[in-house]
Amino acid sequence: MIVLRLALQSLRNRSLTAALTVLSIAVSVMLLLGVETVRNGARQSFTDTISGTDLVVGARSGSLQLLLYSVFRIGNATNNVTWASYEEIARQPEVAWAVPISLGDSHRGFRVLGTTSEYFTRYRYRQTRTLTFAGGKPFSDLFDAVIGADVAQSLGYAVGSPLVVAHGLGSVAFVQHDDKPFRVSGILEKTGTPVDKTVHVSLEAIEAIHVDWQSGGRTPDETATADEVRKMDLKPKAITAALIGLKSKIATFKLQRDINTYPREPLTAIIPGAALQELWSLVEVAETALTAVSWMVVATAILGMITSIFTTLNERRREMAILRSVGARPTTVVGLLASEAGLLTLAGVVVGVAMLYVALVVASPILDRSYGLRLAVEWPRWNEIRMLGGIVGLGFLAGLLPALKAYRLSLADGMTIKT
């Protein structure tokens, strides 16, 4: 207790230097925990993009490719799935529901997704949340479109606004389906998922805008007006992928195996959670690099603290000598400097954690609303507590370096005034 009181009094006498040291350690701790929080938040946000879907079915490809284009709207499918195959899979006794999706077109840089109205009731994100409408309703007319929150905000669309779908992808479209314009029938609430950046239309609408197209271009002799296509049979011939929900989780692997060995055409069925784990294994190197950089910042802050203590040693030689002259043991001197370093590090850790939580409370709603990145404000996890304890222990051990130097100073040398 005497050593701690001496250490606190000594730090109080050097309050400005101590405060700056605590601040540098606090910022480094905040950065370290912030990286960990953002990493966990990013993982959770990706995982929460799709919930309640047991299988995603598409043409034969890699599991990551299928997950990226069907769920995250990144990349393109290697091939399509025939409508007959989709219907046969949807009729399997294990299947509770099936939602087809069709990709390939765009609108001013936003992907266009063809689906059924069941998509708006079956799609889940963040475990149990369903899609809700900020305005309007699901598509009921052939040329109705439901847009995500980011589409509406970026393009300034409201319910009733016209839009024209472009053939293919890209923000600049050279070929458009301008002879069959759509009307915004509904705008979805913000979800923080790729749904926000998607224009949703019916599968029949996808067929309608392509009835007079062949090989990526409009056929001049077979042009059909919007009124004419309404009278046609617009049953889809193929889709890009399908989201499947099962009656029992036990049947997941059996149906997945049956689809992967489907005899009529090469198909792939993936479990979204398993595919996400594969995705994280690919980016694990980047995560490790970010964590390593954060630890380097912490080490730099502790090194700065050691340098500060070493710098003041020459000024405190008389102080150390007086302590020893009044009966203080050498271990007391060592304990004094080590305690100072430990207290500075502990204060930095506490302040850093407090700064992080203040930043999370302020920034979390903004990041969630703007980028769909959900950062949970919760008690530190066990591994984070161990990490913080390790930093405090490291600071205490680092304080032993200047403490050992002070220990080696002789009493006579400490009492001598050097010129």
pLDDT per position as a tens digit, 24-49: 888 888 888 888 888 887 777 778 88
Q: Is the pLDDT of residue 11 over 80?
A: no
Compute the distance between CA of residue 340 and CA of residue 344 in angstroms, rounded to an integer: 6
The CA-based angle 145-117-96, given to 5 degrees, is 155
Confidence of residue 412 (pLDDT cuts 50, 70, 90): very low
Q: Running DSSP on this structure, what letter comes out for residue 166?
A: B
Question: Rg of the Cα trace of the chain?
Answer: 32
Give the number of other CB atoms < 10 A from CB of residue 120: 21
User: What is the SS3 assignment for 200?
Assistant: strand
pLDDT at 280: 78
How far apart are alpha carbons 35 and 242 in whole angstroms? Answer: 35
Tell me how far apart the alpha carbons of residues 195 and 183 are, in angstroms, rounded to a whole number: 18
- In Å, how far are 147, 174, 326, 347, 389 from 11, measured between CA atoms? 60, 70, 21, 12, 22
What pLDDT is attached to residue 4? 66
Mean pLDDT of 243-255: 93
Tell whether the model's pLDDT for residue 314 goes beyond 80.
no
The segment with the largest mean pLDDT, out of 212-226, 246-260, 311-325, is: 246-260
Name the more confident of 402 and 114.
Answer: 114
Identify the residue with better confidence: 414 or 181. 181
**Percentage above 90 pLDDT, the chain:** 36
* DSSP state letter for 265: S
Structure tokens at 157: 């669309």
Confidence of residue 345 (pLDDT cuts 50, 70, 90): confident
Separation of alpha carbons 313 and 25, rounded Å = 21
- pLDDT attached to residue 9: 67
Give the model's pLDDT for residue 408: 65
User: Torsions phi, psi of 165, nearest 5?
Assistant: -80, 135
The pLDDT value given to residue 229: 83
Choice between 4 and 231, residue whose per-residue pLDDT is larger: 231
C-alpha to C-alpha distance for 137 and 404, rounded to whole angstroms: 74
* Averaged pLDDT for residues 95-121: 93
What is the pLDDT averaged over residues 204-214? 82
Q: What is the pLDDT of residue 1?
A: 61
When comparing pLDDT for 183 and 308, which is higher? Answer: 183
Q: Has residue 56 got a pLDDT over 90?
A: yes
For residues 352 and 358, give the distance between their C-alpha atoms in angstroms, rounded to a whole number. 10
Q: How far is the C-alpha of 75 from the C-alpha of 62, rounded, in Å? A: 12
Distance CA 178, CA 139 (A): 19
Sorting pLDDT into bands at 50, 70 and 90, what band is 382? confident
Asked which of 59-63, 73-77, 267-271, 415-419 is least confident by mean pLDDT, the reply is 415-419
Q: What is the pLDDT of residue 339?
A: 79
Q: Say yes or no to pLDDT of 410 above 50.
A: no
Of the pLDDT bands very low, low, confident and very high (cuts 50, 70, 90), residue 247 is: very high
Highest mean pLDDT among 136-145, 177-186, 410-419: 136-145
Residues 276/45, Cβ–Cβ less than 8 Å: no
| pLDDT for the residue numbered 217 | 55
**What is the reported pLDDT for 54?**
94
Q: Which amino acid is at 313?
A: L
- Number of helices (H), then strands (E), belonging to the chain: the values are 15, 16
Mean pLDDT score across all residues of the chain: 83
* Residue 212 CB neighbours (<10 A): 20
Two structure tokens written together for 40: 């966990």
Determine contact, residues 152/158, Cβ cutoff 8 Å: yes
Spatial contact of 301 and 348, defined as CB atoms under 8 Å apart: yes
CA distances from 210 to 90, 312, 417 (A): 25, 79, 94
Question: Distance (Å, rounded) from C-alpha 105 to C-alpha 59?
Answer: 18
pLDDT for 292: 83
Torsion of CA 16, 19, 23, 25, to 10 degrees: 110
- pLDDT number for residue 42: 77
Residue 65 has pLDDT above 50, yes or no: yes
Give the pairing of strands 110-115 and 198-202. parallel
Is the confidence at residue 164, as pLDDT, over 70?
Answer: yes
Q: Which residues pair with 162 in a beta bridge?
A: 183
Q: Can you tell me the mean pLDDT for 72-94?
A: 92
